[in-house]
Amino acid sequence: MNVLNIFQITLLILISSVYSYAIDIDYNTWQNDRMRWVQNSINLLIKAQSQNKFELFQSAKNSHPFTNEEIKIYIQQAHHNKANSQIILGLFYLFGIQHKQDIKKAVKWIKKASKSLYPQSYLILNLLKKYQNLNNKQEFENYKRYLDLTDNENEVHVFAYLQLGIMKLLGEGTSKNEKLALQYLKLADKKGSSQASYYLAMLYLDGSENITINKKLALKWLKKAALNHHPSACYYLARFYEEGILLSRDMVSAIRFYYFASNQNHAKATYRLSLLLSEGKIIPYNFKKSFNYLQKAAKLGELNAIFDLAKLYLYKNSKIIKNQHLAKKWLEKAAQKNHLESQKLLASLYLEIKLYTKAFKWFQKLALTGDSRSSYMVAKMLLDGIGVNKDYKSFLYFLKQAALSNHPKASNLYANILYQKALDTDKISLFQDSFYWMMKAAKLGEAESQYQLAIFYSKGLGTVTNKQQAFYWYQKAAKQSHINSHIVLASMLMNGEGHEIDTNRAVYHYKQAAILNDKDAQMLLYKLFSQGDSIDQNLVEAYAWLNVLNAHTHEFFDELQDIQNEISSNDLNQAQNLSLSYLHKIQKN
């Protein structure tokens, strides 16, 4: 063999080696691209689960690197028990790549890969827990297996440590062990998990049987999580800054972290920004921005924001157009999530727009929780047959429940029903029961009940006659502008009943009733001042009150003329001005 042949053979071997090495590099690059897609798919699954956004699956479907021929090869290899191909085929089914999406088949193929101890299979099975019969214990073991079978640490490792920490903390699928939970959470935190930092902050903030409260450490972890823009950590740190908890009060920092949290769609932080903008104390008032944040918070599911937004649409204001339809839509959303105030307002709205059956349904639901107003509304609807068939027995039941729950009008109505029964049967016990419920309503501040209770004392109905107590309760009702109470008090003060005679105070109460536009009181004042029997005659006052009456009836021209003939022009002018001032006060009421 000559030198040329040896050189040619050597060259061929060298070229072959280089070509083979190049093929190896291309194959490794090709294989790495595909396994990187698997890794990215797992990260996507984690994100989809944490954000509850399974529409993210579409991005995995659109970004896959496989040709049609490669897909066929992976399918064949999966059927020949090649674990990585089984994983990939499972993901094909999960994301709907070259197959109709079929999560059951996805789980089936990934389970096959797990039998070959393929690490990623355990993690994916956990992420698809709700599509299979996987209990907490199996889930915990799967995270452990994944960590035991992998060396290269990545985002998925961090997620596994975090989940193990949470499960150990809660005792889900494993024995509860807070110290071990701390270890797992610290590992996740060390590898960059802001969620782990947040959990650590909450653990040290609240403490437990095995973890001593350490506010300094809690603040350290909370700040770390917040600086990594963990939304809940940002929100709580903002609250701490705003309220001066563990930190000096700092509204600039508070607002900054509220914005950080809101930018990541934290509902409560967004709602708080809306409130701050609407108050205009810390941040300059800006209704438009406040409204936008309120809408955003409502769309994110913050129930208090939904309620506030509904109220804006429900009640007329200068900023937005009243829209009962939108108000109803938002209230229904919050009501279905058991927001109590929304349920109450929704029931009232249904009543207002005459959706009586729906109104009754919500009032009844609220009544069963012990809400006194709702019990009263249910009773009234049962009595009148509004939104439900009339049912007197049920009416009495709900009325009594409302009364027992301290609803003043319910107590008053129940007392009156018992009083009527007492009159019909002449049973002393029923008078006493009626007195009890009337007293309850009166003590709850119901003016009509205070007036009626005074009558009970005055006439000795269900109790011993007591004019002083009658006078006391008439006074209580009169302070709430109860017209009849003013008139009765005036009469008692004139006659020295339940109180010593005091004509000045009597006139005061007649005037209060008259200013509340009671025609009888106005006539009484005219007679008192014109006749001068019980009090000094005062024709200026007499003219003023008669003129008030005449403004409505035009029946007293002759009487007015008679007084004019008896008084001077100055007195007449004074009387007319006084009359105008009384009319002005009446109009204001």
Check residue 36 and give its pLDDT: 81
What's the mean pLDDT in 288-313? 97
What's the mean pLDDT in 181-187? 94
CA 441 to chain centre: 30
What's the mean pLDDT in 159-182? 93
Tokens encoding 333: 């959303």
Confidence of residue 124 (pLDDT cuts 50, 70, 90): very high
SS3 42: helix
Q: How would you classify residue 517: left for phi > 0, otherwise alpha for psi between -120 and 50, otherwise beta?
A: left
What's the mean pLDDT in 212-223? 94
Task: From residue 501, give the alpha-carbon distance in Å to each of 111, 113, 495.
Answer: 97, 100, 6
Per-residue b or e along 344-362, where b marks 16 or more CB atoms closer than 10 Å to that residue's CB: bbbbbbbbeeebeebbbeb
Tokens 């907490």 appear where?
A: 136
Q: What does the alpha-carbon distance between residue 91 and residue 93 come to, in Å, rounded to a whole number? A: 5
- Amino acid of residue 373: R
Judge whether residue 315 has pLDDT over 80. yes
Check residue 307 and give its pLDDT: 98
Judge whether residue 1 has pLDDT over 60. no
With a CB cutoff of 8 Å and minimum separation 6, the contacts of 162 are 184, 185, 188, 193, 195, 196, 199
> Which of 14-18, 187-191, 247-251 has the least mean pLDDT?
14-18
Q: Which of 515, 522, 510 is nearest to 555 (CA)?
A: 522
Confidence of residue 8 (pLDDT cuts 50, 70, 90): low
DSSP string, 6-25: HHHHHHHHHHHHHHHHHHHH
With a CB cutoff of 8 Å and minimum separation 6, the contacts of 315 are 322
Q: What does the alpha-carbon distance between residue 411 and residue 431 come to, in Å, rounded to a whole number? A: 14
Check residue 497 and give its pLDDT: 93
Is the CA virtual torsion 216, 222, 225, 228 positive or negative? negative
**Residues 207, 213 contacting (CB under 8 angstroms):** yes
Q: Which of 309, 354, 364 is nearest to 332 (CA)?
A: 309
What's the mean pLDDT in 299-305? 97
Q: How would you classify residue 91: left for phi > 0, otherwise alpha for psi between -120 and 50, otherwise beta?
A: alpha
Work out the percent of the chain whose per-residue pLDDT is above 70: 92
CA 514 to chain centre: 45
Check residue 23 and give its pLDDT: 34
SS3 string, 390-411, reads CCHHHHHHHHHHHHHCCCHHHH
Judge whether residue 249 has pLDDT over 90. yes
Judge whether residue 22 has pLDDT over 60. no
Q: In this predicted model, what pLDDT tens digit does every residue of 394-451 receive, in sequence order?
A: 999 999 999 999 999 999 999 999 999 999 999 999 999 999 999 999 999 999 999 9
> Which of 47-51, 124-128, 246-250 has the least mean pLDDT?
47-51
Tokens encoding 148: 């035991």
Q: What does the alpha-carbon distance between residue 458 and residue 443 come to, in Å, rounded to a whole number? A: 17
Domain ranges of the chain: 481-589
Q: What does the alpha-carbon distance between residue 204 and residue 36 come to, in Å, rounded to a whole number? A: 38
Q: In this predicted model, what pLDDT tens digit does every residue of 527-579 receive, in sequence order?
A: 999 998 889 999 999 999 999 999 988 899 999 999 999 999 999 999 999 99
Confidence of residue 19 (pLDDT cuts 50, 70, 90): very low
Judge whether residue 487 has pLDDT over 70. yes
223 C-beta neighbours (distance < 10 Å), count: 17
Check residue 25 and give its pLDDT: 36
What's the mean pLDDT in 69-86? 90
> Please, how many CA atoms are within 13 Å of residue 91, restricted to the half-sphere of its CB?
33
Fold classification of 481-589 is 1.25.40
Higher pLDDT, 538 or 191: 538
Task: From residue 460, give the alpha-carbon distance in Å to each of 413, 428, 475.
Answer: 20, 11, 18
Confidence of residue 376 (pLDDT cuts 50, 70, 90): very high
DSSP string, 322-369: --HHHHHHHHHHHHHTT-HHHHHHHHHHHHHTT-HHHHHHHHHHHHTT
**Residues 185, 162 contacting (CB under 8 angstroms):** yes
Per-residue b or e along 82-115, where b marks 16 or more CB atoms closer than 10 Å to that residue's CB: bbbbbbbbbbbbbbbbbeeeeeebbbebbbbbbe
578 C-beta neighbours (distance < 10 Å), count: 17
Tokens encoding 289: 């921005």
Check residue 246 and give its pLDDT: 92
Check residue 219 and give its pLDDT: 95
Check residue 34 and give its pLDDT: 72
By the 10 Å C-beta count (0-12 exposed, 13-18 middle, 19+ buried), 186 is classed as middle
**Residues 139, 130 contacting (CB under 8 angstroms):** no
Judge whether residue 7 has pLDDT over 80. no
